[in-house]
Structure 1
Amino acid sequence: MERNEAVTVSEVLDRIPVGRFHHRLLAICGGAWAFDGMEVIIISFTLPVLIGAWGLSGLTAGLLGAASLMGMIVGNWWWGWYADRHGRKGAFQWTVLIYSVFTGLTALSVGFYSGFGLRFLTGVGLGGALAVDTSYLSEHLPTDRRGRYLVYLDAFWPIGNVLAVALAWVFLAQLPTNGMVALPVLGAVEGWRLLFVSASMPALLVFVIRSQLHETPYFLAQSGDLEAANDRLRTIAETNGESYEPIEGPVTTRPAAGIRRLFEADLRRRTVMIAVAWFAINFGYYGVFIWLPQTVGASGVVGSIYGYFILIGVVQIPGYFSAAYLVERVGRKPTLGAYLVLSGVFTFVFAASMPGVDFLGLGLSGFWPFFGGLLAASFFTLGAWGAIYAYTPELFPTNARATGNGFAGGVGKIAAVIGPILAGALVPQGYLVALLPLAAAFVVGGVVVLAFGRETMGEPLT
């Protein structure tokens, strides 16, 4: 624990008002986050093309769609562990590089097996980046702004989703003729291959991370490098035009913790609680959104799905900002719990409004129940994502923070794999049957948070 008789890292950060340093850091971390969102959702648009090109069955299509999510399980756990032992910055830049490179290489896939392998390796980088990015940003923020800024970080996700929609529209709908794009020298190339090449652009962000970011003061102090921690805090203060009070020894250091630490008496309950919440939000979100292009198409109530997805992405942004406001006003626990429950309620509303569904004679079918239910579900689900990313880092001490983030995220990605596969398997029984388990998962997760969570609003990081 980075604490001494004079002043702690948390106390120094709390005395530095949010300013230019934090805004620039949020932009860099948010850029990585947006690209994560782009990489995850892009398979939703390429999957229908690949089903036809490679003759995929329902099972192999589901596995290909879930491949990056499977890789994210490994990435969450491995890179969270790595970041607690070797530092946040190094893990951050490596994870961004990994998911960028393997996204680009996916363009060279020739069938299910190569496509699955490359998407899996992409997921290893994606999962690691999600675990490390939140830990890195949280360890530079004052206590009274930490929750809000972590929700702001997650608000970059729909920007990535919108970017994925735009790229898919260009390379899958606009440029191709019979699925092919004519290029100088290379000749005719499938549009989906160019889409994956264009999605490798986040590799450029690695240069920004290497040149602009440094190790976090919490990690440096925990590692016993008091001088480097003070240098980092001084940089933050000077960049914001503020005065600086250094940490003074002695500082008690702790070795990096492993998974076992998360289940010791003081952390066990919160670990299980937040793991259930992560399972629920991933199960529901990916179960709905991986298949959403097909669901929207099957509804028959909209025209172009590209414009519709832009609208879905846009409505997510106020969902984030409402969560950012509430986590600092009413707390992390009630915000996350309520948003999960409401995500489940509105997922049910749009599921019950699908064509041919007349649930208990409620008369929900039609454009407006479908449209309103889906937009409301999107609003609350993405707000819940913002709240859970604000909440999770605060539940664990510095020497186990990235490990805790990674463990919870990895449990969530197990659910992210199961959700789309289960939904796909149940679709022949009807969309209401397919979507009901997803709605129920949201509600159960929210109830668990409200019943067993602990409030962390206003608490310093330890």
Structure 2
Amino acid sequence: MSAAEPSQAIETAAIEDTSLLAFYRDMSPSERHTFWACAAGWALDGMDFMIYPLVIGTIITLWKVDAGLAGLAGTVTLLSSAVGGWLGGYLADRVGRVRTLQFTILWFSFFSLLCALAQNFDQLLIARAVLGLGFGGEWAAGAVLMGEAIRPQYRGRAVGSVQSGWAVGWGLAVLAQAILFSILPAESAWRWMFVIGALPALLVFYLRRYVREPEIAAATRAQQAEAGDRPQLWEIFSGPILKTTILASLVATGCQGGYYAVTFWVPRFLTTERKLSIVSSTGYLSTLIIGSFVGYLVGAWLADRIGRRNLFLIFSLGAIAVVLLYTQLPLSNEILWVLGFPLGFFASGYFSGMGAFLTELYPTRLRGSGQGFCYNFGRGIGALFPYLVGALSVSTSLANAIAIFAVVAYAVFFIAAYSLPETRGRVLHAGG
């Protein structure tokens, strides 16, 4: 037996068609509605989160906040998202994936709007902290919803393709920044950025009309209700599940710690150490985002082609190499612009395997709790990295601070991923 399915023998499905879009051609209308809803949710989620890193320079200037304290707001958002993800995943196991997804989207949209109304940094910090609860819960509910709705032979590509929505959201945030900071004074432009961050609330109307609960999840909850055996919040830390939870949490910590160390501070790195204006840095960020988007799609294909674990091992080593090149060599701005593509590619592409991987590690009764905890525990610890990078940059260059914490994070990612089994193609069962 396995920690992934303690009451079921592991069953895997053959992956015959390995082309990237094979999963979409085979989808039913219901599956396609779920796919587009989750892709849009993840895009808007990414847009909402990336707004703050894009306006952090303006916040520092307007409110005279030092870099370490400014980074703390990003850290607090991610820390609270760790709690929100765990609770959101548990709620998804108790009341359903779709209901939880609707609630969490409304939650972080509302508090993004409150960020726009903040009158000082303390108010903004509190609003970002509470927003993080919904931000984490949305990923937990959406990832498990997609993982269960898609057939095992296509799960890696489908879930990974949804993950690419993050790059789309990031791009929308950068586009909004370029437009708003061109036509409005900085004192008001940053507030309108957060107003745009409230747009995900509109997605709830689509969810309510078109997206249905996965049959496997509904059947499992019905069995639990009949037997009076509801999942417990701490159950993922017991028995053979415990080892899986620890290692999966380290995988999530490494991959997200590296990602946030890089992406949170690159906009600031470009405008300070590279002396670019907010508007002129848009081209550099665009290259990074395009590389990220391509990385998500390639990662989605590789997750089913070579397996989840091999994807993680290759991309973690690639990310270490490119981060060191980007931050440590005396490159011209032109070369740095080109290097943004592989930086985005390797620093993002591995996420395409994370949702499917965590879905396949846990039995259905604990899938939301386990997946929500591990991924968002990684967010919580990874949340320290924006703060630590900002704090270290006081005594060394921002480039050095980014490199140090990114390399450490990706090394943890590599080691933990190597210690877990391959899960490609696992068939999920009700109950468990």
User: Per the shorter chain, which TM-score range?
Assistant: 0.7 to 0.9
CA RMSD of aligned residues (A): 2.7
Query: Which of 376, 384, 403 does residue 369 from structure 2 map onto?
Result: 403
How many residues are treated as equivalent by the alignment? 409
Q: CA deviation at 1:168?
A: 1.3
Which of residues 131, 136, 143 is equivalent to 1:127?
Answer: 136
Task: Check whether the contact 1:223–1:254 (CA below 8 A) recurs between aligned residues.
Answer: no
Residue of structure 1 aligned with 2:350, choices 381, 384, 392? 384
Q: What is the alpha-carbon distance in structure 2 between the residues aligned to residue 306 and residue 390 of structure 1?
A: 32
Alpha-carbon distance between aligned partners in 1 of 2:228 and 2:288, rounded to the nearest angstrom: 45
- Equivalent residue number for residue 244 of structure 2: 270
The letter of the residue matching 1:221 is A
Tell me the equivalent position of 1:298.
272
* Match for residue 148 of structure 1 among 143, 152, 157: 157
1:311 matched to 2:287? The reply is yes
Give the whole-Å Cα distance in 2 for the aligned partners of 1:113 and 1:368: 39
Higher relative contact order (CA 8 A, sep 6+): 2
Give the SS at the match of 1:132.
Answer: helix
Superposed CA deviations along residues 26-50 of structure 1, whole A, max 9, x for unmatched, are 1111100001100111001221111
Partners of 1:301 and 1:17 in 2: CA distance: 49
Q: Deviation digits for residues 340-362 of structure 1, max 9, x if unmatched?
A: 22112211221212x4xxxxxxx
- Displacement of 1:98 after TM fit? 0.5
Native 8 Å contact 2:108 2:131 kept in 1: yes
Q: 2:309 aligns with which of 333, 339, 348?
A: 333
**Could you tell me how far 1:328 is from its partner in structure 2?**
1.0
Q: Which residue of 2 aligns with 1:231?
A: none
Gaps of 5+ in 1: 181-189, 227-250, 356-364
Among all aligned residue pairs of Structure 1 and Structure 2, give the percentage whose two residues are the same amino acid.
26
Structure 2 partner of 1:105: 114
Distance 1:430 1:52 in 2: 19
> What residue identity is the alignment partner of 1:330?
I
After TM superposition, the structure 1 stretch with the greater mean CA deviation from structure 2, 88-97 or 59-68, is 59-68
Rounded Cα–Cα distance in structure 1 between residues aligned with 2:228 and 2:336? 52
Q: Name the CA distance, whole Å, in 2 between partners of 1:23 and 1:216.
A: 13
Q: Structure 2: give runs of 5+ residues left out of the alignment.
A: 14-22
Aligned partner of 2:255 in structure 1 is 281
Letter in 2 for 1:193: R
Please report how far the alpha carbon of residue 151 of structure 1 lies from its aligned counterpart in structure 2 after TM superposition: 0.3
Contact in 2 for aligned 1:319/1:379 (Cα 8 Å): yes
CA distance in 2, matches of 1:432, 1:55: 22
Question: What is the CA deviation profile of residues 391-450 of structure 1, one whole-angstrom value per residue up to 9, with x for unaligned ones?
Answer: 111101111111011111221122232111111122231245312231232123113212
Residue in 2 that maps onto 1:458: 425
Q: Deviation per CA, 1:103-134: give whole Å up to 9, x if none.
A: 01211100111111111111111100011100
Bigger drift between 316-325 and 258-267 goes to 258-267
Deviations along 1:206-258, one digit per CA (max 9) or x if unpaired, are 111112122221111112279xxxxxxxxxxxxxxxxxxxxxxxx99683433
Contact 2:68 2:388 in 1 (8 A): no
Alignment TM-score, normalising by the size of structure 1? 0.82
Q: What SS does the aligned partner of 1:412 have? A: helix
Q: Say which SS state the counterpart of residue 429 (structure 1) adopts.
A: coil
- Deviates further, 327-336 or 265-274: 265-274
1:199 pairs, out of 197, 200, 209, with: 197
In our comparison, the structure showing a higher alpha carbon Rg is 1
Secondary structure of the corresponding residue to residue 258 of structure 1: coil
Letter in 2 for 1:55: K
